[in-house]
């Protein structure tokens, strides 16, 4: 009887995914809440054939080199900027990811952040809990209207398109920069330059991948081009926004509000000045955190892992050049 392949799973994932892997593999799971430290990661991958990683795990050339038997890296995420895909390709290691699975739930959350920021819901909840609610007031916690407002989307990909579909239910005008023009026509979204999207948007939602050219895409100059009443929503990647510039813009009234599901770094340090602002809502990177979606992502990651271990093409491969196509 052939021995089962050894794999390392860098954190506890939904049971459906783990069970699928356990059926075919000898599995070690890092069960701490925090990611495995670098030395632990090096030790655990040394003798395995497969790794199931998360965005919080840096899988670079050094890690790959201590794992001579490594056949596949499966990232339980849509993004894969935590993995050196070039190094993996050079070593013949396919890298899996989980595109599409979290589109709708992330769009739900992006719109939830938009609505919460527009109507200052987190502020209102704190106001009540602090015992400050004395009576109905005509000036109390006035926010921004969503219905009929202009939504700007940077990155009209799968998630950006899903957010645009939700905006149609609020009769919002949707403008965008970057993404599918065909999808935009179907959605009734209007193409604009980056600068025009900044200037015209009442709400600006970021859905661009993190690349060298998108790091600090939203910087001090970009923020100055936005309306003083505008709201920034980021469910993409933290480094897309220059957080120091964002703090200055929020503190000075350059823009009205920000709602972030991602920060740079993660978790955001407790002494970060953004946490002192009432007009900044920050969630702990949970846009895809629904039971159904996280279970589906875990299963996709498991299938990518098993395909790589069996020498099959990964259903969702981030570095298809590994197959010499």
**Can you tell me whether residue 123 is helix, strand or coil?**
helix
- Decide: 240 and 217 in contact? Cβ < 8 Å: yes
The pLDDT tens digits of the residues spanning 187-227 come to: 999 999 999 999 999 999 999 998 999 999 999 999 999 99
pLDDT in tens, 134-170: 999 999 999 999 999 999 999 999 999 999 999 999 9
Position 1 confidence tier, pLDDT thresholds 50, 70, 90:
low
The tokens describing 156, both together, are 């009209």
Quote the pLDDT of residue 325.
Answer: 58
Distance, CA of 130 to chain centre: 32
- The pLDDT, as a whole number, for residue 182 is 94
Tell me the C-alpha to C-alpha distance, in Å, between residue 311 and each of 45, 86, 131, 250: 19, 20, 62, 51
Which residues lie below 8 Å from residue 300, measured CB to CB, with a gap of 6+?
A: 76, 98, 101, 315, 316
Closest CA to 297 of 1, 112, 41, 305: 305
As a whole number, mean pLDDT of residues 54-74 equals 97
Domains in the chain, please, with CATH? 6-100+291-323 (3.40.50.720), 103-282 (3.40.50.720)
Q: Give the model confidence (pLDDT) of 81-102 as tens digits.
A: 899 999 999 999 999 999 999 9
pLDDT tens per residue across span 107-117: 999 999 999 99
Q: Are 54 and 97 in contact (CB under 8 A)?
A: no
62 labelled catalytic: no
The tokens describing 193, both together, are 């330059």
What band does 324 get if pLDDT is binned at 50, 70 and 90?
confident
Which residue is catalytic, options 120, 158, 207, 285? 285
pLDDT at 79: 86
Q: Over range 171-181, report the average pLDDT.
A: 96
Say whether 207 is catalytic.
no
Spatial separation of the C-alpha atoms in residues 281 and 161, rounded to whole Å: 23
- The percentage of residues in the chain with a pLDDT greater than 70, rounded to a whole number, is 99
pLDDT tens, residue by residue, 290-317: 999 999 999 999 999 999 999 999 999 9
Instruction: Point out the catalytic residue in the list 266, 292, 312, 313.
Output: 266
Question: Which of these is catalytic: 237, 294, 303, 316?
Answer: 237
Fill in the DSSP letter of residue 59.
B
* Residue 285 designated active-site: yes
Mean of all residue pLDDT scores within the chain: 96
Structural contact between residues 179 and 157, judged by C-beta atoms closer than 8 angstroms: yes
DSSP character at residue 255: S
Residue with tokens 């993660």: 266
- pLDDT of residue 2 exceeding 80, the answer is no
Angle (deg, nearest 10), helices 121-129 and 103-118: 60
């Amino acid at each position: 009887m052939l021995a089962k392949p050894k794999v390392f799973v860098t954190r506890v994932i939904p049971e459906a995914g783990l069970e699928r892997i356990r059926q075919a593999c000898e599995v070690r799971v890092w069960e701490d809440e925090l990611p495995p430290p670098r030395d632990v990661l090096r030790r655990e991958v040394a003798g395995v054939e497969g790794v199931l990683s998360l965005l919080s795990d840096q899988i670079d050339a050094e890690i790959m080199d201590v794992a001579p038997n490594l056949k596949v890296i499966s990232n339980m995420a849509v993004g894969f900027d935590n993995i050196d895909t070039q190094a993996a390709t050079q070593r013949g290691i396919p890298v899996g990811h989980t595109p599409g699975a979290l589109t709708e739930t992330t769009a739900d959350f992006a719109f939830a952040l938009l609505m919460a920021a527009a109507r200052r819901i987190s502020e209102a909840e704190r106001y009540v809990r602090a015992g400050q609610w004395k009576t109905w007031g005509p000036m109390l916690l006035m926010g921004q209207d969503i219905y009929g407002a202009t939504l700007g989307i940077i990155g009209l990909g799968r998630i950006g398109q899903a957010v645009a579909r939700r905006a149609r239910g609020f009769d919002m005008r949707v403008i965008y920069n970057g993404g599918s023009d065909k999808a935009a026509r179907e959605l009734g979204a209007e193409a604009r330059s980056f600068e025009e999207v900044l200037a015209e948007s009442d709400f600006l939602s970021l859905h661009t991948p993190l690349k060298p050219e998108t790091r600090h895409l939203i910087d001090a100059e970009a923020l100055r081009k936005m309306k003083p009443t505008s709201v920034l929503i980021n469910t993409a990647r933290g480094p897309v926004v220059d957080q120091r510039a964002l703090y200055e813009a929020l503190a000075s009234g350059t823009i009205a509000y920000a709602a972030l599901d991602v920060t740079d770094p993660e978790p955001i340090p407790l002494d970060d000045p953004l946490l002192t602002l009432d007009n900044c809502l920050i969630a702990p990177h949970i846009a895809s955190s629904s039971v159904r979606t996280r279970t589906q992502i875990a299963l996709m990651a498991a299938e990518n892992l098993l395909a790589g271990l069996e020498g099959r093409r990964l259903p969702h491969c981030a570095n298809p050049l590994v197959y010499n196509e």
